[in-house]
């Protein structure tokens, strides 16, 4: 690249003072990004001396000046600070540009010799913060996880065409990563802490772009942590132009505290896998998602992980959901989903981790073919803004996002059963309604959805009203779905919920087991509840609903091809702790809400500035 011409006379003055316009030569220096930052700095300072003189130089703030209103930025070649002289002020006009360019000057492009694991890992190891590792085309097998522990850009040669829903597969990684290691089998595991989470990002700090992750004939075992696993703390992560091709694992898994976007990706599912699992367990520096649950949802902000302009072909017609827990906040928008129910959350239930915190789902096209999932998804915790989606193809069997709480029928540790006597929940102030012992052992129904046993006396008053019965010996129990009295035997046949899904939901009663009947009104972290107190530790102190405020979920402008609406609902049979008009609403929210900038600022491939000029 030829050196820049430093002659200010080469610039058109257009009526400006000659001395001032000569300082536009500073910009010409920036054309030669092959120069080292120190060389650029030296040349600029020499030019300033020549043009401005000692008097002007004396009027400037230097980096060592304690009165300077700006501090130096690490890893940037800072040239000068705002100046008091005329010449100095004009020079300072370009300081911000030069700061950015000096970062580009220092960043390097590193070419991996091949797409092999050895060559790519060597290139990544040699990269510094801000560098770009370029991986050539080719098809290779990886048997190890590539670990990235610094903010870099990793670029392969695959591209995705969102409009045509196709991929030009060039850099192809066959998934032969071992399933016996921990964490289990991500193809790429990025653990990056970089950036300020309180500042809205404008450019990626970590970027993974242009790869095809493809199933290998040698590996047919599933893995839980995603082809790309993100961890650490970073506000500006971008995954783009990747094809996740018939893998035995989900596409993405977010852990730690990550904001960013996955854009322009294609997912082809031939196995029952998730689209991904979202989580923000270390939000605000806390654990278990507690920090996320101590804050408002921040609707319409950058404080989510976004998935936009993605295409999901779920050939197997099962799975394909975006799961979430650990205080997750995610947005799915402007994407196309084929035979996916998509929305899925875990609640505050199976371990110390909290449930999903907030979801926005909008401007998507969801197509269902015969045999595809008959529902748009479900919520086990957190809130949802669900709007302007089109459901095409075969009509949904249940055209609603169903809200429910697993703890109504499962005694998960450490939160235990939502029994109506659990201090984590809001319980009926009446307290205990009835107690006694089982007269017969429980019998599970053929569908394994309920279990029944007999108790002495007439308890038919609890046939309706969504009361909970609990075996106080085991701690297990569930919602009473039937209480039929037989006057001849003076016994009541109690039927309560039973699920084979978890051992702690397989409600059983032996003859003589003690029971109690109570009623729960609302459950910790259920849909309809928002920010509460900050919890900490492995065994936090229980308070009703953790002091959470009402928040609400909203659905509007979601339509099927037959004209019917797709809404939010409490399920069938209804889940008793949800109330329409309090916990969920099937209309637009009454508060001000504007979706976040689209496309996401991190998803814009902006070219460097060129042909810069000052106009009168």
pLDDT digits (tens, 9 = 90+) for 79-98: 334 444 444 444 544 544 45
- Mean pLDDT confidence for 271-291: 97
Q: E strands within 176-324?
A: 188-193, 206-209, 212-215, 228-240, 243-245, 252-254, 257-263, 266-269, 276-278, 305-308, 311-314, 322-324
Burial class, 124, CB count within 10 angstroms (exposed 0-12 / middle 13-18 / buried 19+): buried
H/E element, 454: strand 450-456
Confidence of residue 58 (pLDDT cuts 50, 70, 90): very low
Q: Is the dihedral of CA 66, 71, 75, 76 positive or negative?
A: negative
Between CA 374 and CA 340 the distance in angstroms is 9
Distance of CA 211 to the CA centre of its chain: 20
User: Angle at which helices 95-106 and 37-58 pack, to 10 degrees?
Assistant: 160
pLDDT score, position 525: 98
Q: Decide if 362 contacts 396 (C-beta within 8 A).
A: no
Q: Decide if 405 contacts 346 (C-beta within 8 A).
A: no
Q: Is the pLDDT of residue 60 over 50?
A: no
Residue 608: DSSP 8-state = P
Q: Decide if 123 contacts 112 (C-beta within 8 A).
A: yes
Strand partners, 172: 139, 212
Please state the pTM of the whole predicted model.
Answer: 0.83
pLDDT score, position 581: 97
Integer CA distances (angstroms), 461 to 37, 317, 418, 480, in order: 81, 43, 21, 11
Between CA 157 and CA 154 the distance in angstroms is 10
Between CA 11 and CA 21 the distance in angstroms is 7
426-522: what fold? Answer: Elongation Factor Tu (Ef-tu); domain 3 (2.40.30)
pLDDT digits (tens, 9 = 90+) for 537-554: 999 999 999 999 999 999
Confidence of residue 501 (pLDDT cuts 50, 70, 90): confident
- The domain limits of the chain are 8-106, 140-402, 426-522
H/E element, 379: strand 378-379
pLDDT score, position 146: 97
Q: Decide if 83 contacts 65 (C-beta within 8 A).
A: no
Query: In this structure, what are the phi and psi dihedrals at residue 101, rounded to the nearest 5 degrees?
Result: -70, -35
pLDDT digits (tens, 9 = 90+) for 465-498: 899 999 999 999 999 999 999 999 999 999 999 9
């Amino acid at each position: 690249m030829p050196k820049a011409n430093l002659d200010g006379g080469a610039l058109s003055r257009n009526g400006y003072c000659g001395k001032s316009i000569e300082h536009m030569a500073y910009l010409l220096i920036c054309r030669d990004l092959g120069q080292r930052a120190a060389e650029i700095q030296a040349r600029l300072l020499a030019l300033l001396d020549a043009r401005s003189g000692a008097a002007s130089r004396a009027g400037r703030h230097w980096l060592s000046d304690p009165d300077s209103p700006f501090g130096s930025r690490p890893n940037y070649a800072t040239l000068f600070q705002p100046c008091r002289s005329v010449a100095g002020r004009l020079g300072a006009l370009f300081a911000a540009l030069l700061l950015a360019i000096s970062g580009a000057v220092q960043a390097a492009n590193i070419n991996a010799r091949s797409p092999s694991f050895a060559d790519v890992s060597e290139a990544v190891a040699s990269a510094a913060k801000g560098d770009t590792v370029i991986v050539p085309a080719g098809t290779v097998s990886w048997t190890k996880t590539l670990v990235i522990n610094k903010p870099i850009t990793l670029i392969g040669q695959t591209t995705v065409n969102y409009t045509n829903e196709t991929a030009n597969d060039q850099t192809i990684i066959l998934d032969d990563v071992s399933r016996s290691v921990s964490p289990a089998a991500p193809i790429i595991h990025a653990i990056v802490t970089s950036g300020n989470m309180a500042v809205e990002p404008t450019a990626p700090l970590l970027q993974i772009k242009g790869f095809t992750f493809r199933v290998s004939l040698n590996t047919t075992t599933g893995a839980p942590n995603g082809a790309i696993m993100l961890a650490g703390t970073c506000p500006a992560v971008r995954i783009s132009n990747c094809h996740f091709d018939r893998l035995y694992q989900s596409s993405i898994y977010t852990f730690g505290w990550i904001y960013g976007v996955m854009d322009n990706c294609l997912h082809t599912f031939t196995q029952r896998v998730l689209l991904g699992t979202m989580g923000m367990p270390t939000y605000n520096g806390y654990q278990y998602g507690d920090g996320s649950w101590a804050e408002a949802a921040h609707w319409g902000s950058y404080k989510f992980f976004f998935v936009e302009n993605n295409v999901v072909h779920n050939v197997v017609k099962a799975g394909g959901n975006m799961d979430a827990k650990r205080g997750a906040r995610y947005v799915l928008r402007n994407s196309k989903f084929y035979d996916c129910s998509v929305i899925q959350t875990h609640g505050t239930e199976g371990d110390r981790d909290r449930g999903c915190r907030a979801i926005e789902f909008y401007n998507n096209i969801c197509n269902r073919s015969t045999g595809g999932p008959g529902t748009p998804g479900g919520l086990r915790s957190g809130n949802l803004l669900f709007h302007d989606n089109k459901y095409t193809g075969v009509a949904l069997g249940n055209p609603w996002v169903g809200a429910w709480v697993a703890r109504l029928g499962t005694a998960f540790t450490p939160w235990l059963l939502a029994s109506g006597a659990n201090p984590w929940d809001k319980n009926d102030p009446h307290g205990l309604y009835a107690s006694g012992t089982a007269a017969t052992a429980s019998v599970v129904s053929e569908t394994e959805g309920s279990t029944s046993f007999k108790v002495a006396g007439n308890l038919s008053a609890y046939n309706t009203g969504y009361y909970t019965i609990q075996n106080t010996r085991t701690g297990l129990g569930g919602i009473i779905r039937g209480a039929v009295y037989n006057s001849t035997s003076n016994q009541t046949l109690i039927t309560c919920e039973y699920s084979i899904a978890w051992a702690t939901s397989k409600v059983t009663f032996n003859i003589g087991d003690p029971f109690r009947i109570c009623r729960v009104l609302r459950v910790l972290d259920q849909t309809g509840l928002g920010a509460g107190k900050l919890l900490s530790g492995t065994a936090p102190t229980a308070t009703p609903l953790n002091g959470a405020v009402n928040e609400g979920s909203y659905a509007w402008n979601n339509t099927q091809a037959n004209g019917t609406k797709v809404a939010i609902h409490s399920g069938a049979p209804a889940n008793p702790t949800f109330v329409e008009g309090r916990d969920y609403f099937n209309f637009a929210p009454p508060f001000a809400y504007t979706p976040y900038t689209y496309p996401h600022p991190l998803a814009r491939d902006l070219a460097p500035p060129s042909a810069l000029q000052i106009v009168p």
